[in-house]
Structure 1
Amino acid sequence: MLNTLNQPQSSALSDKLLHFTKDFETYIQDLKNILQKPKSGDISFVDFDETLYSRIPQFKKDKRFVECRGQAGIDLVYKEIGRDIFLKDYYNPDGVVKDVLSRTDVILTAGIDDLQRGKLEHSGIDKEALVVAEHKQKPKAVLKYVLKSLKSIPENITFIDDKAFDLSEEFRLLSDILQTKIILENIYLDSEKPTEVDHIDKKIFEKGKELVLS
């Protein structure tokens, strides 16, 4: 059992938490508590779009999806096509990447909450889901989930996403804060067989340091 964190250690933790949230005081005591507990188990956080479900069929069927990204894409769905029609036409259980779903504990996706949860429902996916507004908020969501929901630190945290490496520095820091191992899997789906994985690139961070993969 670790001793209670001293003042310098506490200050260092606060500085690191500031990278994720200005409201670090709501996290610091929870973090101190779980750092004194033994680590247990593994958990995976998995993206939805282009990870569990390819958008390539959408792009091929309607070129407007290629041209309209961001807010323009949202307007296309809600104002031109209609949310319910969009979900019915483009999402169903047959389109799910089952090899990835079998490795999924928690879905962590970015976008409009109502739309993302609709995609999951129409795809027949019954998993716990966290929805954040932007991709860059995902590391903070992982931190919050570990502190507030798990209330213990897993031995291994896996993050599977088609843009996982964009968050490398944030997850490296998170592995330091939690003093554990975080595995990033940058996934690429098969363009010809969208329900299959083409390949996966990996990075592994342990206690703030990147491990060299052979």
Structure 2
Amino acid sequence: MQKLRGLNDRIVSSITHEPLNKLLHPVSVFSKNIGDLLSLGERLSRLDYRAESTLNVVDFDDTLYSRYEQLQLKGFQDNRGEMGNKFVRENFGFRKFIEKFYSRSRAVEKILGVVESQTETHTSLILTAGMQDLQELKVDSLDICRESVALITVDFALKKPLELIKYIIDTLKYVPGKIIIYEDKPECFEGEMQSIRQLLPKTEIVVDKVFLNPPGMMKQIHSIEQNIYKV
């Protein structure tokens, strides 16, 4: 362990020139491999920076689409995560489940508008956790064009920050001037904000916590707590 600390003391970020240990959170997905972290920083530093551009990063479940109706069924209340997926497979099948619970007309209107506001300076990414096949069916049920709106599915929400950085490097291929993250459970980004901001030092990063309305108004947002992780 002492040797590792010494290595951290000697290696610096290619972007910030600060000691690497300042970039590492104790449970950070960025900290599993020091070489990978440095590689991300170096690759980001080679990308163009576009100050006028905005990347909207939108969660799906209970952000873009309310699960309130589903969660009134006891089977969903008793089975979450992988057990919830098993419940869907055994009691509905994925396609029948989508037909029963999902349609564009029931999406959260304001968030759907954000997702589809594609311009030369605005790009949207749906970044969601769950089973990839099922999440793809959910997004497709809203008739969102996935040629213009990328979808990334992770198996655990804590992997979202790393996948966001990879998306910027491998798909977006430039560093946006602003990133706005819309999440009902933004805690998956909380422990990584220092790392993200130091990897993207010129980018303004805003995390908005979304609260949806109760039944009867599931297409509407109750409130948004804006910029919850301010610098």
* TM bin (shorter chain): 0.7 to 0.9
Q: 1:25 aligns with which of 3, 19, 35?
A: 35
Two-structure CA RMSD over aligned residues (Å): 2.4
How much does 1:33 deviate?
Answer: 4.7
SS in structure 2 at match of 1:45: strand
How much does 1:65 deviate?
Answer: 1.3
How much does 1:29 deviate?
Answer: 4.2
Q: Is the 8 A contact 1:13 1:28 kept in 2?
A: no
Inter-CA distance 147–12: structure 2 relative to 1 (3 Å threshold): farther
Q: Percent identity over the alignment?
A: 26
How much does 1:165 deviate?
Answer: 3.6
Q: 2:142 aligns with which of 83, 107, 123?
A: 123
Alignment of 1:3-152 (within 5 A): 8-10=12-14, 12=18, 15=21, 16=23, 19-21=28-30, 22-23=32-33, 25-26=35-36, 28-29=38-39, 31-35=41-45, 37-40=48-51, 41-60=53-72, 62-104=73-115, 105-126=124-145, 127-152=149-174
How much does 1:12 deviate?
Answer: 4.7
Runs of 4+ in 1 over 6 A off after TM superposition: none
SS in structure 1 at match of 2:29: coil
The equivalent of 1:203 in structure 2 is 227
Question: What letter corresponds to residue 87 of structure 1 in structure 2?
Answer: I
Which stretch of structure 1 is more off in the superposition, 32-41 or 96-105?
Answer: 32-41
Q: Is the 8 A contact 1:165 1:186 kept in 2?
A: no
Please give the TM-score of this superposition, normalised by the length of structure 2: 0.77
SS in structure 1 at match of 2:227: strand
Question: What letter corresponds to residue 29 of structure 2 in structure 1?
Answer: F
How much does 1:26 deviate?
Answer: 4.8
- In structure 1, list runs of 5 or more residues that go unmatched: 1-6
Distance 2:65 2:13 in 1: 42
Please give the TM-score of this superposition, normalised by the length of structure 1: 0.83
How much does 1:27 deviate?
Answer: 5.6
Distance 1:91 1:83 in 2: 11
